[in-house]
A and B are shown apart, each in its own frame.
Chain A
Amino acid sequence: MRVVVLLSAGRHPVSGRAILPPLEAQAIAMALALDPHCYGLHAGCTPDGVADAPGYGLPSLDLLTIDADVDPVPALAADLSKRKPDLIVAGRRGQGGNDTGLLPYALAEALHLPLLNDIVSAAQEDSDGMGRFEQALPKGAKRRVTMLLPAIVTVHPLAPAAAPFAYAKARRGTIEFREGPSGEAAPGLFETRSRRARPKLMRQADAESDGGGAAIIDPDPDDAARMIVDYLERLGVRRLRNEASRTTDHRD
């Protein structure tokens, strides 16, 4: 299986130094397990940040040079449609540019490829032309998906950790520069400015919706148990009694 990892130029959130976004280092580890000869692809004006990728084990890296502020999607799409990889792996969102997480979706549209987001594992299906993936869902749930390739997947932070950075590997990896198509600088649709820190909302106890905060003194333990279960079910935290009977139904 031929795998390519899309790389972006990241910025360290504190120092502002050019780095490879941590999620993309995880993407490299995932790609290597599927294809030891996988390669990285980046469209941009400098190799800053992405040049770290070989240090995480990536054997080779293609850099499509385009002008600053030019939309990278056409350059990436042109290159990928020529080389036709089976799987395109990207981070779920950049860290240092627009960081919208839209690029994989724009690429999927341009290449007419299916996209699966937030994956934590990938494997090749025994029968050809398919991949098996695990997708992270909210509240610790997962979805196992068997999918036709070629496809684009984005990696979730819960994916296995990246390999540690190694200078020896960083020196062994090769970077090839190629000129990307020229394009118009895309004007940003929104105003950008330096960030203002805004605290998140305080999470507060909602005493009123809790029923005024009742204290039940020295109840019979069975009554206490019933009150607790009623309370949990009324608030919708757990449907214990129904759910319990449903699980037994499934078992037989």
Chain B
Amino acid sequence: MRIDRASHSVGLVGGPGREEAVAFEANVRIVDEPAFTVLAVLGASNGRLSRFDRQILGAGRLLADAGEGGGAVIAVLPQAADGLGEAGADRAIIRGGGDFADVAGRAEAFLALDRTLTPRHWLFAENGPEADLARRMAIRLKEPILTDVEHLTARQAVRASHGGLREEAGPPPRLMTIQEDRVASYADRPCEARLLDAQTVSADATDSAIVESEIVPGDPSSMALAEADFVVSAGNGVSDFDAFHRLAAALKATPGASRVVCDAGLMPREAQVGASGTVLSADCYFALGIAGAPQHLQGIAGCEHVIAVNTDLHAAMVERAGLAIVQDAQKVMPALLHLLREGET
């Protein structure tokens, strides 16, 4: 049986739901002849928009909609990703070259893009490769840049300087990097996200000084909890910790725990999620047998998606979850392990 809390009705609901996205098409917002363009450079790793990516698009939307005549937001990303239009992109350019393609080479490709598109703004995330790219472009273009912007309106951009004691402000320059959680993502009518084919960037050029390079993906099992993007946590409702650890590994998730579990010595103190443990920045949180005490919920306030497995329908964690399974964790864990093993063969 499925209970749909949104409508407060109890009953059977067929199908997986959530087909609205397709039905939206009639309502798509189309900018056919923009007066100018704003380029939003996205990390979009694994073909997925992160919250930060959506904030960069939100910043783009803000600048595009405030400018006279109306501008178009062009997303530049390594590979196709879902939800670009919903996040505010009018156009999209697939640059190719993989998630972490050589940045020096990418800067050259982007400079070429700058000459053909002459955008009014370039927006980057103040984050690893994008922050690097933005600075290379500012130097090559000999243009001012505001980095790590923490306040953005159509009229001014502000960043902290002098060790955070002072701030620099000015009209938004052409080049900016934006700090995470500073600009709201876009939440209005979906945009077109039309793929621009002609300008696809080839990022084959590499930094000639680099002789060899190899990317080592992060290991979720040893990653710092605060850094993890997906955390699976055990609470007092978990008794089979062997299954729990195997499940965390199979899900490629970073293991966490409630305080009760850490107090009992079943998990290390570093694994504690919550007000007196680690406050997560994960996108997704999977809680097994956790009641959802306020101190615990504080630690996951920023998690966009929550899955709960709990025997108690009335647990606060069930209320917080986007997907709640009212079932014994000791039964669900082996079923998950079985399913994930099957997928491997």
**Chain A: residues with CB nearer than 8 A to chain B?**
10-13, 16, 95-102, 105-106, 108-109, 114-118, 130, 136-148, 151, 188-196, 198, 200-207, 209-219, 221-222, 224-232, 234-241, 243-245, 247-248
Contacts and interface: CB of A to CB of B under 8 A. Distances in A.
Interface string B303-343: 11111010001000011111111111001101110111001
A196 B161 CA distance: 11
A146 to B, nearest CB: 4
Given A114-B104, A217-B3, A239 B46 contact: yes
A1 B147 CA distance: 33
Contacts of B344: 244-245, 247-248
Contact of B128 (A105, A138, A243, A248): A138
Given A109-B139, A140-B218, 7 more contacts: A139-B218, A146-B212, A200-B182, A206-B305, A230-B16, A237-B283, A238-B253
A248 B340 CA distance: 13
A238 B251 contact: yes
Contacts of B211: 130, 146-148
A249 B253 CA distance: 21
Contacts of A115: 104, 136
Contacts of B219: 140
A194 B326 contact: no
Contacts of A239: 46
Contacts of A11: 162-163, 165
A99 B324 contact: no
Given A10-B163, A13-B164, A188-B168, A205 B320 contact: yes
Interface residues of B, number: 113
A216 B2 contact: yes
B46 A221 contact: no
A139 B227 contact: yes
B162 A97 contact: yes
Contacts of A245: 343-345
B135 A101 contact: yes
Contacts of A142: 215-216, 218
A211 B5 CA distance: 11
Most-contacted residue by chain B among A97, A211, A215 (CB, 10 A)? A215
Interface string B200-219: 00000001111111111111
A109 B140 contact: yes
Contacts of B46: 236, 239
Contacts of B286: 228
A109 B325 CA distance: 57
B131 to A, nearest CB: 7
